[in-house]
Amino acid sequence: MREGSRTAPNRPVSAICQRTPQAVSAVAAVPGTVVGMTRIDNYSPSGRPVAVSVRGLVKHFGRTRALDGVDLDVHEGTVLGVLGPNGAGKTTLVRCLSTLITPDAGKAVVAGYDVVQQPRQLRRVIGLTGQYASVDEKLSGRENLYLIGRLLDLSGKEARSRADALLERFSLTDAATRPARTYSGGMRRRLDLAASMIGRPHVLYLDEPTTGLDPRTRNEVWAEVKAMVRDGVTVLLTTQYMEEAEQLAGELTVIDRGKVIANGGTDELKAKVGGRTLRIRPADPLELRPLAEALDRLRLAGSATTVDAESGEVLVPIVSDEQLTGVVGAVTARGLTIGSITTELPSLDEVFLSLTGQKTSAPQDLRPELEEVAV
């Protein structure tokens, strides 16, 4: 359901939906009516089926090149996290892949359909949850879902059944008859997710879906996304929350200034950035500071060591295997009893900062009407 759509005042939704099939038939593709427009099956070099394949995608807004030759793949039944600072092109990418805007160059195939050549067929197998809830606030939760079901050509009985099932799944049954304007922010977001699932999409786009939500509601949304993926849905997720990316995404793509600058799994991206931290915990807490001072004097660390008094550890920056060997040797030479010694890769926040030069943050007050140009 698109933001800004409204029903006529004082008219029951059932009356509106009685005329829906005729209206929808004008824009909905009837299976088999488009000659020469067959599904395109894609597979990655590993042989895994690909639900979303993007090659060389370009989009301009005036002189601004919002997308500058984007390439990416999303394997079926997985979550791809698309990271990037404000203005990177994340929302523009989602709008292109959901047929809301047309790319200027390149090729994108989603769920077997070409985004430019087969938009009507594609719309039947995708769902979209944007940065802002797009439900009709005058309608109840059940009426919102029922109306969308009818717009997707479901029968009245099937639309009601599907709406009730999703209300239960998203813990909205008790509020089903209340107008959406009375819902909390978290409830509206769950209703928005339910709306995107009415048509049982093969591919779901989540464009910063937890922006502005409190931690509890965010966790609820994450749980629902994980359940969708278990059911076989493929998800393309844009986010600036690194915790969200680590929770949900199996693969990550980092976009900056319209270009893909890195991709891979979380650990793979961390390894690409380089740098590790050696955490040494002496058995005797009194050895913490003397150990740190001794390592600083030997100048074995990449930079100054730090003491984490809370965890009882000395943190040593490591930039090479030779340096790691030297530090471990120095610790051993002191004859200390070590409680534990571990290495850790940089955090995803540190990876993001290294790749883009910007800190991660949740976008604030981005007006929907400016999204197309701003992103």
Q: How many CB atoms lie within 10 A of CB 370?
A: 9
Q: What is the DSSP string of 204-269?
A: EEEESTTTT--HHHHHHHHHHHHHHHHTT-EEEEEES-HHHHHHH-SEEEEEETTEEEEEE-HHHH
Helix (H) or strand (E) holding 314: strand 313-318
Residue at token pair 């786009």: 205
* Model pLDDT, residue 117: 95
Whole-number pLDDT of residue 349: 75
Q: Which of 109, 101, 122 is nearest to 52 (CA)?
A: 109
Query: What's the rounded Cα separation, in Å, for the pair 232 and 229?
Result: 5
Whole-structure pTM value: 0.69
Helices 156-169, 185-197: axis angle to 10 degrees equals 140
| pLDDT value, residue 5 | 41
Tokens for 299? 């100048």
Which residue type does 83 have? Answer: L
Output the six-digit token pair for 45.
Answer: 């070099």
Kindly give the parts of the chain with pLDDT less than 50.
1-11, 13-37, 361-375
CB-based contacts of 36-41 (< 8 A; 24+ apart in sequence):
37/114, 37/117, 37/118, 37/121, 39/112, 39/113, 40/109, 40/112, 40/113, 40/114, 41/112
Q: Looking at residue 305, what is its pLDDT? A: 77
In angstroms, the Cα distances linking 111 to 107, 193, 358, 372 are 14, 19, 34, 24
